[in-house]
Amino acid sequence: MISEPELVGGVEFEAPEVLTETPPPRPPRTRRPWLWALGGAVAASAVWGGGLYAYDREQEPGPDLGGYKPVADLCEVAELKALGTVLGKKSQDGAGLGVDEPAMSESSCMVVFGPLETGQSLDITYTLHKTVDPEPEFAVRARQHGVIQELDGIGEQAFFDSHSGEGGTLRILDGQAEITINLYRQYHEVNGVPVESERLDLSGIDVPMSQDALALMAALKK
């Protein structure tokens, strides 16, 4: 409610006068301070509200990562014991370049089972999505790569492609974590002649791959 005029700005009405034909001039009114104060209050409220909105946005929580954490050396985490039993001991491993950003983290590992030049190669990629949900695109992308067999009991979704018995690719989605394990025979050259690795019977290789994948998923949450 607007105050009575005589209480605003420190100016009171003068004593009543008897009106004459020419009224005496009244003293000028001072500027009403409430207009400035109201404008200042509105501005302060806008600044405070904007700051609070920005603060809330900065503090907005991301999706639940389900215990998964970024890793700097994926080879150190991936023991691959089941595959080692089938393919032989690891002769070489090495971590690929990784990234750890606010939106996502990704790391990779390259392994050779058996002889260095004639063994079986394995690539692992681990991607942790920190802001977006990868589920709507996961199955579509998997099928685009030729993955045709769906596996149960591994994460939320898992697909496997046997590569016609030449190895296999296992793709797993578990919440915000995406894991791809790709096994293939190596090729190298001797005096310019391509030499392929020993042909192993890799039928059923999805079983040890799945066992190692489950162990890796548990280790990534520690």
Contacts of residue 151, defined as CB under 8 A and 6 or more positions apart, other chains included, come to: 158, 159, 160, 170, 206, 210
User: How many domains does the chain contain in total?
Assistant: 2
Is residue 104 domain-shared with residue 156, that is, in the same domain?
Answer: yes
Residue 64 in any domain: the answer is no
What local confidence, expressed as pLDDT, does residue 38 receive?
A: 39
Is residue 157 domain-shared with residue 114, that is, in the same domain?
Answer: yes
Task: Give exposure, 26-50, as e/b (b: 16+ Cβ within 10 Å).
Answer: eeeeeeeeeeeeeeeeeeeeeeeee
Domain holding 46, by residue range, is: 5-58
Is residue 14 domain-shared with residue 123, that is, in the same domain?
Answer: no
Residue 65 in any domain: the answer is no
Is residue 140 domain-shared with residue 38, that is, in the same domain?
Answer: no
Is residue 191 domain-shared with residue 121, that is, in the same domain?
Answer: yes
Is residue 49 domain-shared with residue 107, that is, in the same domain?
Answer: no
Is residue 155 domain-shared with residue 80, that is, in the same domain?
Answer: yes
Is residue 139 domain-shared with residue 174, that is, in the same domain?
Answer: yes
What local confidence, expressed as pLDDT, does residue 202 receive?
A: 86
* pLDDT tens track for 91-129: 877 877 789 999 999 999 999 998 877 789 999 999 999
**Are residues 167 and 184 in contact, defined by beta-carbon separation less than 8 angstroms?**
yes
What local confidence, expressed as pLDDT, does residue 25 receive?
A: 52
Cα–Cα distance measured from residue 86 to residue 21, given in angstroms and rounded to the nearest whole number: 118
pTM exceeds 0.95 for this model: no
Residue 98 in any domain: the answer is yes
Is residue 118 domain-shared with residue 207, that is, in the same domain?
Answer: yes
pLDDT tens digit at each of 222 positions of the chain: 444 444 444 445 454 444 445 555 555 444 444 333 434 444 444 444 454 444 444 556 778 999 999 998 999 999 999 999 999 988 877 877 789 999 999 999 999 998 877 789 999 999 999 999 999 999 998 888 777 799 999 999 999 998 888 889 999 999 999 999 999 887 666 677 766 666 778 889 999 999 999 999 999 998
Is residue 162 domain-shared with residue 52, that is, in the same domain?
Answer: no
What local confidence, expressed as pLDDT, does residue 78 receive?
A: 94
Residue 140 in any domain: the answer is yes
**Are residues 77 and 147 in contact, defined by beta-carbon separation less than 8 angstroms?**
no
Is residue 79 domain-shared with residue 43, that is, in the same domain?
Answer: no
Please give the torsion angle defined by the CA atoms of residues 16, 19, 24 and 28, in that order, rounded to the nearest 10 degrees. 50
Is residue 94 domain-shared with residue 191, that is, in the same domain?
Answer: yes
